[in-house]
A = this chain, B = another copy of it.
Amino acid sequence: MGRWEPGAGSRLREAALALYLERGFEQTMVADIAERAGVTARTFFRHFADKREVLFDGSSELEEKSVAALEAAPATASALDAVAAALDAVAGMVGGDREFARTRQTVIMANADLRERELIKLASMSAVLADRLRRRGVGDTEAGLAAETGVAVFRVAFERWINATEDRDLRDVIRETLAQLRALTAAG
């Protein structure tokens, strides 16, 4: 096996997801993943720090892109609109492959440690977005609320998107969910 292995990363990811689903995350070893992907364990570790990272390696890029989108929102945009722009960027990244997203979610929901990791990821994104809103001059409470609410909308929309019968654009589902939030808070 040479040093140059085109597509090894995506083959490893696919093999890992399939095994996590079949045997459970706990029961899957790095050696199993490498074997199914047809590479060595050493190749696995050139792509991922550990088996958990297969599921979370996009997290920091996700955070960066969402922050960039928030900061690119016009100064006149409301706090919630700026957060909506950030969610749009996140949807653009994770909304491309619903089959992958759905499998990943099934694997995560089946394991307490992974669920925690996912909660932490979203809490961290909320904290970062709130911080950037404050730097844009948004008041302390308003910034916290807009960021927390935005992440809440994302969670609900994401869940809807992966469970929907038809394959819709995640961005549309998020926009729709945000509109539902507006209706909800206006009503009650």
Contact = CB atoms under 8 A, between A and B. Distances in A.
A82 to B, nearest CB: 8
A145 interface: yes
Chain copies in the assembly?
A: 2
Nearest to A82: B188
The SS class assigned to the A binding surface is helix
A115 B81 CA distance: 29
Contact of A184 (B119, B145, B184): B145
A99 interface: no
Nearest to A113: B116
Counting contact residues on chain A (CB < 8 A from B), the size range is: 35 or more
Interface string A54-83: 000000000000000000000001111100
A188 B141 contact: no
Nearest to A178: B185
A157 to B, nearest CB: 8
A114 to B, nearest CB: 12
A148 B155 contact: yes
Interface of A: 77-81, 84, 115-116, 119-120, 123, 140-142, 144-146, 148-149, 151-153, 155-156, 159-160, 177, 180-182, 184-188
